[in-house]
Amino acid sequence: MALPPNKQRSRRQRKKMRIGEFQEFGFEYELKVKAELSPEQEEALMDRFVRELLVPRNLAAAGWVREGFVTAFTRGSASNEDRQATQAWLAAQPEVGEATVSGLKDAWYVED
């Protein structure tokens, strides 16, 4: 969804639309695995990702093994520290050959 046109909106509208001071940020991740993973191995990796990284940091992710988007579990934004922790965790996994984490991006709107 594209960013809504810039016009005067009330605080309530900005909050509901998650724009202005209520804008929320997340980041993308992309993985290259060392060898093809079976469905069970993929599930085990994602289970560890959720238990060891996302839940303790109060984050949520959409996607699967090779790519996804991470943001705060509730309202709010992922931080640069969350990005760095995700990069480090992914790179440390034995199945992962290469891990890339993007900069912070608007979690609700695609910038043109």
Q: What are phi and psi of 81, to 5 degrees?
A: -65, -40
Say if 49 falls within a structural domain: yes
Say if 77 falls within a structural domain: yes
Spatial separation of the C-alpha atoms in residues 45 and 11, rounded to whole Å:
41
Per-residue pLDDT reduced to its tens digit, 15-41 = 888 788 888 999 999 999 999 999 999
Least Cα distance to 76 among 29, 15, 28, 2 occurs for 15
Is the separation of the CB atoms in 101 and 36 below 8 Å?
no
Domain residue limits at 85? 28-102
- Cα 15 to its chain centre, rounded Å, is 21
Say if 63 falls within a structural domain: yes
Say if 22 falls within a structural domain: no
Q: Count up the domains in the chain and report the number.
A: 1
Per-residue pLDDT reduced to its tens digit, 26-79 = 999 999 999 999 999 999 999 999 999 999 999 999 999 999 999 999 889 999
DSSP 66: S
